[in-house]
Structure 1
């Protein structure tokens, strides 16, 4: 989307309207609190692209212009997590949001691994196919582990990193994930948790569901978000197996021994942390702030949980824009 078109659409969306192009198709829709800009699931589906790589066909969004920012989602989510962030950043960056191997709508080559290390090499190949030499990174949850490994392996390709709640070496995988890992070992995780949540959205939002675990705002995740996130993970036995494989790829600790390498990285880093998160340790943002030599500090959101980027996209955009101006 061209910058002039984006600014026109964004300005109207902030007034609480929707915009249609010449064919009548909605490009953006006002949503969220205060009529703020956010893509719908239907729009996201129309915007989705696929990039053939040796790892498989990678589902992704590519919106905006300028230097590229690579948005790395959490587990068991996909790039729909960034539906409120991308419209806010597309006037300043080319927003690239791929679905990880084994999650979302990416189609994985038979026999291909889906560990964090596999994700890193997939991302490098994905960027090569797009002709993108360097990126800013924004990452959440297991995407944060992938971001750290990517930055260590390809430091010249990373201009900056915006971390949100995620794995760090002393807390990866976090103890709270052990029940999920055990179900994945038994091959039952999708059927035990994801299928019931998909079939009963209120259960998914309950204190014992995805909502209670990872969201702080009532009504999250929304019905369409649950469908977008979970439907592809359980659509076949092969996809359920990939979901289990992604889970098992988080153990043993993929970040073991990475601290010394992180300390050598020079790119600017900013950390935003939801302090009501019960998954990752509350000491983790301080750890990252200490380890990353060019950290620009921590912003703590006292009431936010793990997947707060979905609920507070304006905070992600605000902090990213500040980081990029430095």
Structure 2
């Protein structure tokens, strides 16, 4: 038996753009691709475990580990960067036979979702950007600490304190689990290779040109925690200024963990946004009414 066979983080495996990719696939209906953040020891399951099941009641939820994270392949000498991650995400959609999907991106994953929508607009229906990068900002001490993580239980505890507004959520057990995740074979090596100091350049590398963001045609929901110490709230306001078809939702008393600190509310918000009718196009799950079956009334 594989030592990780009972690990909920390990799900299905498929080759996406040449990368053996670990991914979760649950529910049915319109496909939604969940793209995780870039914390140490992160995986799709760790990031989205509280969202996947509620959202899967309304949609087909696909949550991959991006290259260099979680249980996806870490090829020797792999050039980590936006080009490679976009190729992997599109490759996953191709491998699963999905022509178009909604994208939900967290932090780093938000920047990736933006880049994918810019480069492959025909593959995207709607966007949700949560605590997102993707626009220029000055590196925060919080993000510098996340990307500069050196494995220890104390360091992980300190990081979790940065992530959460409500420190009671940061238990010793959670810190131990995330620390142990960060020291699995290969995890820290690939993580340290992605965002070495000086780290402002990686903030800039994850940003998309503002002119391109202004041309994104998709309905977009921007979500942010007011007390986020990793990615500044100003990012959400800037994205709201740039994106043409945009809604903004800010959670008070919330840090960088919207999907955990306000899990039930976030699941409903995202589910409702993705399910609502778009006046510019029919929803893929709702047939357009024909004259023969229209009902009349007041």
TM-score (norm 2): 0.80
Relative to 1, partners in 2 of residues 1:176 and 1:225: Cα closer, same or farther, differing over 3 Å?
closer
Counterparts in 2 of 1:3-42, with a 5 A limit? none
1:154 aligns with 2:106: no
* Separation in 2, partners of 1:97, 1:74: 12
Counterparts in 2 of 1:193-212, with a 5 A limit? 195-197=151-153, 204-205=156-157, 209-212=158-161
Match of 1:74 among 37, 49, 55: 37
CA-to-partner distance for each residue in 1:17-65, whole Å, 9 max, x for gaps?
xxxxxxxxxxxxxxxxxxxxxxxx95724x6111123542211100000
Is this contact kept in 1: 2:160–2:175, CA < 8 A? Answer: no
1:62 aligns with 2:44: no
Deviates more, 1:217-226 or 1:49-58: 217-226
- What's the CA shift for 1:313? 2.0
| Unaligned runs of at least 5 residues, structure 2 | 278-298
1:220 match: 169
SS in structure 1 opposite 2:249?
strand
1:48 aligns with 2:11: yes
- What's the CA shift for 1:100? 1.4
* Separation in 2, partners of 1:269, 1:136: 10
Relative to 1, partners in 2 of residues 1:225 and 1:212: Cα closer, same or farther, differing over 3 Å?
closer
| Unaligned runs of at least 5 residues, structure 1 | 1-40, 184-188
- What's the CA shift for 1:255? 4.2
Is this contact kept in 2: 1:136–1:158, CA < 8 A? Answer: yes
SS in structure 1 opposite 2:8?
helix
| Aligned residue pair count | 266
SS in structure 2 opposite 1:75?
coil
- What's the CA shift for 1:252? 5.9
Relative to 1, partners in 2 of residues 1:225 and 1:155: Cα closer, same or farther, differing over 3 Å?
farther
Is this contact kept in 2: 1:172–1:255, CA < 8 A? Answer: no
SS in structure 2 opposite 1:82?
helix
- What's the CA shift for 1:156? 0.8
1:299 aligns with 2:249: yes
Is this contact kept in 2: 1:268–1:323, CA < 8 A? Answer: no
Relative to 1, partners in 2 of residues 1:125 and 1:228: Cα closer, same or farther, differing over 3 Å?
farther
TM-score (norm 1): 0.74
Relative to 1, partners in 2 of residues 1:267 and 1:54: Cα closer, same or farther, differing over 3 Å?
closer
1:310 match: 260
1:245 match: 193
1:27 match: none
Match of 2:76 among 110, 117, 136: 110
Counterparts in 2 of 1:59-208, with a 5 A limit? 59-76=22-39, 77-79=42-44, 80-171=46-137, 173-174=139-140, 176-178=142-144, 183=148, 189=149, 192=150, 195-197=151-153, 204-205=156-157
